Structure formats: structure tokens, C-alpha cells
Amino acid sequence: ISESPFLRVRNLRAGYGPARVLQGVDLEVEEGEMVAVLGQNGAGKTTLLRALSGMVRGRGSVGLRGTELLGRAPEEVARRGVGHVPEGRGVFAPLTVEENLRVGAHLRPGSELAEDMRHVLSCFPVLRAHLSQPAGNLSGGERQMLAIGRALMARPRLLLLDEPSRGLAPLATRRLFDVLRAISTRERVAMIVVEQKTQLAAEFAARSLLMESGRLVTPGTAGASGDPSAPGARRWHGS
């Protein structure tokens, strides 16, 4: 029996009611690999992440280490190792930072709460000083770290990140991606990162893919028209 790839997506179709957004997405991701998904507004990037985490119904196949994820409830997909950090970094503002992190831990049965907390705070040391403060008091960058930290509490093997750089200053963005890269390489957590900042994505991700007409294509190849207005678009070619 040949070994299944870590994540294998085949002919994934999804949408909202009669509106079909994903028209047949094919994608393979290796353990610990960071893949960026680029594309214009409305192309379906967010829908792809939702379909992968079970938040919208998909058809086709999503295999994680050979196990089919399609048709499972979002909780169960999460329990199988898929963490989703939606756009807008939805943390619970009235809860403290620590309470927010504890919410993330309940998805992993038998989790070592203290150990997981230590692990997350080692990734994002800045959160330590704010543990007992309401999450609503955090800066945008800190809130994004908290949202990612909450997902990490469940010790995911695949992390889905929807525009983590949105609203962050360049320095905060860079720091965040440094941490993400460390987590993906050191702990072999695979990541699919939806990004508008194409140059950043090209710098940090192992591969960049373009969402176009509901499918994923490799930028600069036949079938990909590219987005000439996007900054850094030329870097795609030949890289």
C-alpha cells in the first residue's frame, strides 16, 4: 500500500445554496509545509478554508492522512487535527486572554492544559503579560496572536489561516510570519495561509497558489492568468 499524502484534496466543490464557488480544487500539502493561497477578492479563498474545516459542505474528497474529512462536523474535523483561524481574528473580547486560550483546549480530548498553555506562550511570549486581561484590550497584532494561540491549544496538524496579516503593521506582520514559519518547520504543522500580500507570501511560504475561477492554479503556468495589478506578481514567474 502506498503511503497517503498528508493532505490530499481532490475535485473539491462547494458554495452557498445555488452559488457554486469552488469548481473543483485539487491540492496536496505535505506535513509541515506552508502553502499560501492568493487571489482576488471573492475568488473563493475563504470558502476553501471553510470547506476544509467542515464549516461549509463540500463535495469531492479531502483526505487527511488517508482519512476522509468531507461530511464530518466541524468539531470532528478539528478533533482530527485541523485548526481554523477565521478572518477577523474572532477572539472573545470580554473573556480574558487565558480564558480564550482555554476555549481552544476543549477540542483535544485528554489535553494537557498546563503543558499546552506553556507551549502557546512560548510561541507568543507577549501574551503572557496579558493573561488576566480582557482580550478586547489587546492590540490588533496581539489579538491575531491570541486567535492563532487558541487554535494551537488543540495541537493541530494542519492550520488554516485566513489573512493573518490583515490590519497589521509591517513589523507586526513580519514577526507573526516568523513565528508561523517556526511552528511549521519545528513542529511540522502544515499551514494553508490565505494572503493578500503576495510578496510576503512568496517570502515565507514554500509554495504560492492562485485561486482562479474556483480552482487552484500555480501562478505563472498555463491556465493561470495571474493578477498583473498585484504587487509582487512578477516574482511568481519562474519561482
* Residue ranges in contact with ligand ATP by CB under 6 A: 16, 19, 21, 39, 41-47, 211
**Is 14 or 78 the residue whose CB approaches ligand ATP more closely?**
14
Nearest approach, Cβ of 239 to ligand ATP (angstroms)?
A: 22
- DSSP code for 142: H
First to last CA, the chain: 34
| H-helix segments, the chain | 45-52, 74-79, 97-105, 113-123, 140-152, 170-186, 198-204
Residue carrying C-alpha cell 511552528? 183
Q: How many angstroms separate the Cα of 181 from the Cα of each of 47, 63, 118, 129?
A: 24, 24, 19, 23
Nearest approach, Cβ of 10 to ligand ATP (angstroms)?
A: 19
DSSP β-bridge partners for residue 12: 25
Cα angle: 166, vertex 172, 175; to 5 degrees: 115
DSSP β-bridge partners for residue 192: 35, 160
Taking the C-alpha atoms of residue 64 and residue 80, their distance in angstroms, rounded to an integer, is: 9
**Is 43 or 105 the residue whose CB approaches ligand ATP more closely?**
43
Nearest approach, Cβ of 127 to ligand ATP (angstroms)?
A: 27
Sequence-ordered list of residues with C-beta below 8 angstroms from that of 80, at least 6 positions apart, any chain: 64, 67, 69, 72
**Is 44 or 164 the residue whose CB approaches ligand ATP more closely?**
44
Nearest approach, Cβ of 145 to ligand ATP (angstroms)?
A: 21
Nearest approach, Cβ of 3 to ligand ATP (angstroms)?
A: 32
**Is 42 or 125 the residue whose CB approaches ligand ATP more closely?**
42
**Is 41 or 122 the residue whose CB approaches ligand ATP more closely?**
41
**Is 47 or 184 the residue whose CB approaches ligand ATP more closely?**
47
Q: Are 134 and 93 in contact (CB under 8 A)?
A: yes
Nearest approach, Cβ of 77 to ligand ATP (angstroms)?
A: 18
Residue carrying C-alpha cell 483535544? 108
